[in-house]
Amino acid sequence: MPKTELKNVIDIFCGAGGLSAGFSKAGYNIITGIDNNENSIETFRANHDCEPIVGDIQREGAISDIKDSVSQNGSNIENVDLVIGGPPCRGFSMANVRSDSAEHPLNELPARFLEIVQEINPEAVLIENVPRLLTIADGKFKESIIARLEEMGYSTTHGVLEAEKFGVPQKRRRVFFIGHKSVEPELPTQGEFKFQMPVTVKQAISDLPELPTGGGGEMRMEYSPNNSGISEYVAKMRRNEKKSIVMNHRTTRNQEKTYRRFKHIPQGGNWRDIPEDLMKNYTNRQQTHDHIYQRLDEDEPAKTVANFRKQMIVHPTQNRLLSVREAARLQSFPDDYHFKGSSFNARQQMVGDAVPVNLAYSIGKSLQNCHATSEISSV
């Protein structure tokens, strides 16, 4: 009899836990996560009711560590229904335009991910990555992932999803592969939320306290005293936050010369709006990306928030970079999701690397709907 209910989840390459947060919100039970970054593990542990694994899945004995962790969290590997994960995408990203070769070391990680899936043998699997994975090496990686899943007995689907259609105030594109052993899986076409979409930058972050010109702020701050008329999206993001405290609302402190650049950038503008005499250290302007010094348009969803410090993403109305909490809001992390780690830069990187929570939630709900359809048709 086909198994149509998925409940217990392992998150491989879990990062700060965006995928897990979305699936947990959709009603799944997160058994454990695994990542080799201790900052990510600390954040995952702080926000999920399970003990994650610090480790590299490429090393000998990785599957044994996963089985041990599952056991320590009160389950066993046979109870795992779904394995999810996003093998690190830097080998496929536009920032690595020379990595189209199959020999790029970071491009080996999806294959290793699938080896772990075969060992665990779950009912279903979800793989997340950047859309570039579909075309590099003449489509070799896309074809190999699909072929490998089918060899393991999974029916598959894949496609690129646009985050702003799924309750995320950000224009972010990600490719997802789903494999299922009992049903024909489907990707969602849009999210279902009780707020208007697409969510704009203003609707997502305008209630947060103003920060000093040029940057700064504190790890713990109170919400602005005048919070009347907050958006429906913000109301959802605040959910269980207690005592009017907002965490991680801190941003990079910039030098005076950087602050002077900010003043010249209109909403929707970028480094090209800055006078040349203030950009003398950018010697090769032809190779400067348009996303550098980009000021967000408050009436639109944000552009892709990756490493927003290195991108120099500028607040729509204040002359400073985004705070960690603002970037987390644009990734649809709720305000009670606290980012830990040994450094401020680590927290910035974790937020930028994460899968948006509402996008993950929509995929999780779609899988449940697929199950319900299968159950009805089999009666």
How far is the CA of 52 from the CAs of 66, 73, 267, 358, 360, in angstroms? 9, 9, 41, 22, 19
Q: Which long-range contacts (CB under 8 A, 24 or more apart) does 158-161 make?
A: 158/187, 159/187, 160/131, 160/134, 161/187, 161/188, 161/359, 161/363
- Domain ranges for the chain, please list them: 8-194+356-378, 201-341
pTM, two decimals, is: 0.91
- CATH label, 201-341, candidates 3.40.630.30, 1.10.10.60, 3.90.120.10, 3.40.50.1370: 3.90.120.10
**Domain 8-194+356-378 top-level CATH class:** alpha beta
Best CA proximity match to 350, nearest among 41, 95, 89: 41
Separation CA 267–CA 316 (nearest Å): 6
- Give me the tens of pLDDT residue by residue for the chain, a chain 379 residues long: 345 589 999 999 999 999 999 999 999 999 999 999 999 999 999 999 999 999 888 887 788 888 888 888 888 899 999 999 998 755 444 444 444 444 544 457 888 899 999 999 999 999 999 999 898 888 888 999 999 999 999 999 999 999 999 999 999 999 999 999 999 999 999 998 989 899 999 999 999 999 988 777 777 888 876 666 789 999 999 976 556 788 999 998 888 888 899 999 999 999 889 998 888 877 666 556 667 899 999 999 999 998 887 888 999 999 999 999 999 999 999 999 999 988 889 999 999 999 999 999 999 999 987 765 555 444 4
Judge whether 8-194+356-378 and 201-341 match in fold. no
